[in-house]
Structures are given as structure tokens and as C-alpha cells.
Amino acid sequence: MAIKIINEKCKGCTLCAKACPFDALRIENRLAIVDEGKCTNCNACIAKCKFDAIEAAPEAEKVDLSAYKHIWVFAEQRQGKIQNVALELLGEGKKLAKDISDDTQICAVLIGDDIENLAQECFEYGAEKVYLVQDPLLKNYTTDAYTKVLKQLIDEYKPEIVLYGATHIGRDFAPRIAARCNTGLTADCTHLDVKVSKYIEFAKANTTLDTSTLDPNDPSTGIKQTRPAFGGNLMATIICPKTRPQMSTVRPGVMQKQERQAGATGEIINVKPNLTAADIRIDIKDIVKSAKEMVSLTDADIICSGGRGLGDASGFELIKQFADKVGGVVGSSRAVVDSGWISPDHQVGQTGKTVHPKLYIALGISGAIQHLAGMQESECIVAVNKNDAAPIFEVADYGICGDLFKVAPLLLDAIKAAKADK
């Protein structure tokens, strides 16, 4: 709830409006008006008002944090196939659960129709419990239906943490749930911790944060959600200390799936949704798959990426040729996406996709820290750059200092020759 204006005391002096850093106040007919959509309850206006005409918003009802337990993963499925990011989150969630307590469980939430067969896959990738919600009205994703169903589940079972993949569906779905639950959501996370000691280790290795004020023996287990901010130029860590559940969307590819345990079992909780057709404002007539070739960087074994060293957009013709010859997909740095040389779905890095291919070939990429964050865990990295001091060489397994337009054709010829000898 926003701050409240006491009309009888307000003089329309404009001091409050000038003090508001969020433009949440305006003066109409010598009376202050609050834009509740912009007000953050920072109370800067209260300090400036000389007439005691502004009241602070009432404190929200305190949440019993102890009533919330376990970690949930929204096991996003499309046409009966669980998305890879959900399986990655089950592995990450299992690690977090272990750090919270021995009795904290990692649970999957499956929503759809005729999807009970997917529960076994969730168990094999780490889930101990599966909440299974099936109904013909849930066959295709709609914001209205899925929101109502998951809110019903959260109200009944009270999870401590809910994780979603930062997919098109996750980015649409998670904010709606957070708003309904009156809790926070951190979007596009690239790192999660619950133990303070582990977060300190991460911060020391990856940020310039002064960790001297943090106590490694702090027993609190609230989730520390780290994400890139300001275009990837800094990392922000966000906590949610007062409300539950704690919610994060996590970028595909940044977490590791655990090794599949064939035959693993767990508990299935069948939930009958309280849902009718009247709850759904969208009528899906048909699903038409685009004929456009989709870039699947997160699943690729071989990625050939180009950077600013290509000179202009035409340089990607060489990258595409190279990728075709080695059986890879085309990636890029952020710089060339910003320049309009290639579409954003090819971008690798902190503000793009995080990848773990068997082979990553970087042609004309200098290796800014934001790019390295998205590909440095590739099994083998081959870099070509004419600058021998380029940061990319610090993570490369094989580095070639030279003109990529001369080196790449030679590499292609060598590949052709190697294939011909087989």
C-alpha cells in the first residue's frame, strides 16, 4: 500500500512532489495525489512535508517464515517434454536443500494434461516429491490457468523457495505468482546460495564486494540471488527476508543437471485443481510452430562464435560456413548484437546465454569479462584473435594469434583434409 495524503492538512506546496525520487506524487487543484503504481514507500516525501499531511503506509502483516518449508521447481513442460532448464534447477535445488537442512526436500511441480509419465524423469534428475496437477484445461499454457493452479498449491503446501526457468513462459508466469503471493521475485539469476559462507566464497572469487561485514558462521539460510545488472556491468545480489516464498527465475544453461539416476523413485502428490473454463480469458485455437530455424546454444556440443573482429555483419558468413563444416551452431559476443550484425538469440555471455559445449570456437572475440562468464566452462576453447593480449587467451585451451580471415580458412582446409583421410 502507498503512503496516504491527509487532504485536510495538505496545502499543495509541491515540496513532497519535488522530494519524490520516483515521480509518484503530483499536485492537482492544490492537493497532492499519489500514483500507487510508482510509490515505493521510501518516505522521502514525509520528511519534506511541513504540514504533517502525509502518513506512512501501514506495515504489512508479518509472515510466519517458519511455516514455509522445502524447495520447489516449476517443471516446465511443452507438449509433454520437460524443458532442460527445469532439470538443471532440480540439480541446483538439491544442492540448496542440502545446505538448508537434512529434512529440506526438493520438489517438482508438474502442470498440464496427461503428463504423469514425466514424474519419473523428475525423480531421476533429483526430485524427491512431485506435485502433479492434471486437467484438460491445462493442456496448453495460459497465464490465467497456471497462475490460479500454482497459487492454490502454494497456499496449501507453503514452499520456502520456488524456482522457475527464465524462459518465455517462466518470465510471464513467475511475476504473476509473486504478485499474487505478495512476495519478491529476482529475475534472470545466474547464481544462487543459501549458506552465507558459500556466498562469501563466491563473492570473493567473482565480485569486488567487501565481504568483511559478512559472518561466515551466520546460520541464516535465506536465498542469496545473484544476477547481472546495468547491462552486465555489475552483479547484484538480492535477498527476500520478510516474505515467503522466495522466488527466482534462473537463466537456462547456468546450472548443471545432476547425473541421471535411472529408476529413482519418489512421492507423487496428485492435486485436483479448482479450475473452470471461466477462469481462463484466453482461448487457444491452435499452436503453430514457426518455420524459423531456432538457435539452440544451450544444447549445442559445438559453438562457433564471432565478435567485433569480423569487421561487419558480412563476417558472419565465414562463421556460418565454419559452423556448418564442424557441425556446430553460431554464437556471438554482445558487441556484435548491439551493432545489429546478428540477432540477440545468438548472444553468449552474462547478458545472453550461458553455454557448456564440448568445443567453443571464438573468432575475433577479445573476451570481455561479460562474455567469458557465459562460456568459460566449455570443455575445450579455441580462440583466434590478432591481439596477443586479448583476455580470451587466458581461458583458451588453444590460442592462435593471427588474422581470423586467414586463419579460419586454413582451419577449414585442415578439417576437410582430416575428414577425407577417414
Confidence of residue 11 (pLDDT cuts 50, 70, 90): very high
Q: Around Cβ 1, how many Cβ atoms within 10 Å?
A: 11
Report the pLDDT value the prediction gives residue 317, as an integer from 0 to 100: 93
| 394 domain-assigned | yes
Q: Around Cβ 259, how many Cβ atoms within 10 Å?
A: 10
Report the pLDDT value the prediction gives residue 292, as an integer from 0 to 100: 47
Same domain membership, residue 316 and residue 269: no
pLDDT in tens, 305-328: 999 999 999 999 999 988 988 889
Over 60: is that where the pLDDT of 76 sits? yes
DSSP string of 104-118, one letter each residue: PPEEEEEEESS-TTH
| 289 domain-assigned | no
* 292-304 average pLDDT score: 77
* 2-10 average pLDDT score: 91
Same domain membership, residue 372 and residue 223: no
128-164 burial, b at 16+ Cβ within 10 Å, e below that, comes to bbbbbbbbebbbbbbbebbbbbbebbbeebebbbbbb
From 168, 141, 158, 192, select the one nearest 68 (Cα to Cα).
158
Same domain membership, residue 94 and residue 227: yes
Residue 63 burial (C-beta neighbours within 10 Å; 0-12, 13-18, 19+): middle
Report the pLDDT value the prediction gives residue 1, as an integer from 0 to 100: 61
| 378 domain-assigned | yes
* 39-67 average pLDDT score: 87
Report the pLDDT value the prediction gives residue 290, as an integer from 0 to 100: 58
Same domain membership, residue 354 and residue 273: no
Same domain membership, residue 181 and residue 86: yes
pTM for this model (two decimals):
0.74
Report the pLDDT value the prediction gives residue 231, as an integer from 0 to 100: 66
Confidence of residue 232 (pLDDT cuts 50, 70, 90): low
Q: Around Cβ 284, how many Cβ atoms within 10 Å?
A: 10
| 293 domain-assigned | no
360-385 burial, b at 16+ Cβ within 10 Å, e below that, comes to bbbbbbbbbebbbbbbbbbeebbbbb
Q: What is the tally of structural domains in the chain?
A: 3
Same domain membership, residue 81 and residue 44: no
- What's the CA gap between 132 and 116, in Å, rounded? 7
Same domain membership, residue 108 and residue 13: no
Confidence of residue 380 (pLDDT cuts 50, 70, 90): very high
Report the pLDDT value the prediction gives residue 418, as an integer from 0 to 100: 74
From 394, 279, 299, select the one nearest 353 (Cα to Cα).
299
Same domain membership, residue 119 and residue 191: yes
| 208 domain-assigned | yes
pLDDT in tens, 89-132: 999 999 999 999 999 999 999 999 999 999 999 999 999 999 99
Same domain membership, residue 46 and residue 133: no
Structural domain that includes position 75 = 68-279
Report the pLDDT value the prediction gives residue 377, as an integer from 0 to 100: 87
| 19 domain-assigned | yes
Same domain membership, residue 134 and residue 50: no
- What's the CA gap between 307 and 363, in Å, rounded? 6
- What's the CA gap between 310 and 307, in Å, rounded? 6
Q: In one letter, which amino acid is 125?
A: Y
Q: Around Cβ 116, how many Cβ atoms within 10 Å?
A: 14
Q: What is the CATH number of the domain that holds 306?
A: 3.40.50.1220
pLDDT in tens, 184-206: 999 999 999 999 999 999 999 88
| 60 domain-assigned | no
- Residue 332: strand, helix, or coil: strand
- Residue 103: strand, helix, or coil: coil
Dihedral sign for Cα 19, 23, 29, 34, please: negative
From 232, 186, 227, select the one nearest 347 (Cα to Cα).
232
Report the pLDDT value the prediction gives residue 106, as an integer from 0 to 100: 98
Please provide the average confidence, as pLDDT, over all residues in the chain. 91
- What's the CA gap between 150 and 387, in Å, rounded? 52
Same domain membership, residue 138 and residue 196: yes
Report the pLDDT value the prediction gives residue 207, as an integer from 0 to 100: 82
From 24, 85, 120, 10, select the one nearest 55 (Cα to Cα).
10
Report the pLDDT value the prediction gives residue 295, as an integer from 0 to 100: 62
Percent of the chain topping pLDDT 90: 75
* 215-224 average pLDDT score: 94
| 265 domain-assigned | yes
Q: What is the CATH number of the domain that holds 231?
A: 3.40.50.620
